[in-house]
Structure formats: C-alpha cells, structure tokens
Amino acid sequence: MIRQGASPVVDTSGMIEFQPSRRSFLVSGVVAGGALLATPKAFASDLHAPAAKRPSTPGEALALLQAGNQRFQKGRSTAPRVSTVRRAEIAEGQDPFAVVLGCADSRVPPELVFDQGLGDLFTVRVAGNTGAASAIVGSVEYGTAVLEAPLVVVLGHDDCGAVKAAIDVVTKGKQLPGELSGFVDPILPAVQAVVNTPSAQLLDAAVAQNVRQTVAALSAEPSLAADIASGTVRVVGAEYRLHSGRVDLIS
C-alpha cells in the first residue's frame, strides 16, 4: 500500500512511527494509508539506516540535498538507505522529503547526484526538465500536496541535448522528426529570451533560462502558490555540472 500524507516522529526509545499529517484528508477515499513501525533491532542490521528525522521545512530539505551533493562531488557517497531493511520499510508507504523535476538524461540521476536513498526523493523526469505538460505538473503537485514534500527542485544540467535541439530550432529553423517537438517546444521561449547571447555562451544561458522559466511556471500554479506563500513549500532552480558533479542553485 502507498502510505500518503504522514510524517515520521522519533521518540526517546528509538522507535520511528508515522502519524497522520495536516494534508491526509487530500487522499481520504483515494488511497488507504498504512502505518509503518520499525524497531531499533531492524535498524541495527541495516548498515545504511534511515536518517533520524525527515526534513520538515524547505530549508532543511535543501541543506540535506546540498550536503549529499558535496559527498557525491568528492567521491564520498554513502549510498544511504538502500538495504533490504529499507526496501521492506518503504514497501509500506513513501515519505519523500523533496520533489526533483529533472532531465531524463541518463547522466543525471537525482538519487545519486544528491546521495539519497530509496524513498527519499519523489523524482519526475522528462527531457529538458520542463513543467509544461499537465501530467508533469500534476506529478509535482502530488509530491507536495499529497506526500507533503516541502521542497521542489527543478534540476537542469549543462550540455543538455533537449536545449541544444531548441537552440537549433530557434537559430537554424531545424525541423524535428517524430514527437521530439513535444519536449523541445516548451524550451523555445527560454532560448528566444537569450538568443542574443554570444554563441559560445548561448547553451549555458539557455539551460539556466529554461530552469528559471520552469520554476516560475510551477510557482504560479495555484496549488503550489498557496503553499509557497505560507512558507511550507519552496521551488528552487539548480544546474548540475556533468564534469564536476556539482549542483549550483540558479537565482
């Protein structure tokens, strides 16, 4: 079963249990909730035990991702929470602390980039990391409204093939075969906004602008805007560097 809308509470005995949260009513009648109870003995047998406390604020969630990326950059990834114990644990329900809308590029897997484990991230991936399709926006909204993840990260990356294709369409009038325009078209406004950038910097500028454009579009969604205004959810943009492994925030 999928356990929706619950947050972990740690008591002094070391027990971790999930209690109903403020948005559990959103899934009432849609999916059934399942309680998770794990014992210290089970955790002792897990070399990659889960963190003691799930981030509950956007700032805490972002700091955890940044710390994980630091480990990844330095080749010190811990590959946390990937054991058989963790797998059995989250089979009873998920409680991710961040939503990552990333590119489908095989070189940019969010769980590895941020050194997180099973059930930590709610990932939504599409070539070009855009939020134009309703299914993508709906998936992000599910992560925040139902699963209560306090942070959304729009993760672009350098040398993005989808952005390159959009640049070719704008600057060369290239026609794309098949359904490729489905993920390229949403990027065209970002390219058009920076098209006068010197050619050597155009790709980097377009990647960053595409991330900003997606952050702005998601932030304007009514279901997200209310939580952003209250401070319970934050949407941030970031870019992954393929060579260094570093993730930089985009303002």
Could you read off the pLDDT tens digit of each residue along the chain, which spans 251 residues? Answer: 334 444 444 343 333 333 444 443 333 333 333 332 333 333 333 444 444 478 999 999 999 999 999 999 999 999 888 888 889 988 999 999 999 999 999 999 999 999 999 999 999 999 999 999 999 999 999 999 999 999 999 999 999 999 999 999 999 999 999 999 999 999 999 999 999 999 999 999 999 999 999 999 999 999 999 999 999 999 999 999 999 999 999 98
Domain ranges of the chain: 61-76+94-250
* The dihedral sign for the CA sequence 34, 35, 41, 46: positive
Contact yes or no for 208/201 (Cβ under 8 A):
no
- CA distance linking residue 150 with residue 218, whole number of Å: 14
pLDDT value, residue 124? 98
pLDDT value, residue 76? 95
pLDDT value, residue 149? 98
Contact yes or no for 54/89 (Cβ under 8 A):
no
Angle at 228 between CA 137 and CA 190, to 5 degrees: 50
Q: 61-76+94-250 belongs to which CATH class? A: alpha beta
DSSP letter at 224 equals H
pLDDT value, residue 90? 87
Buried b / exposed e along 45-69 (16+ C-beta atoms within 10 A): ebeebbeeebbeebeebbebbeebb
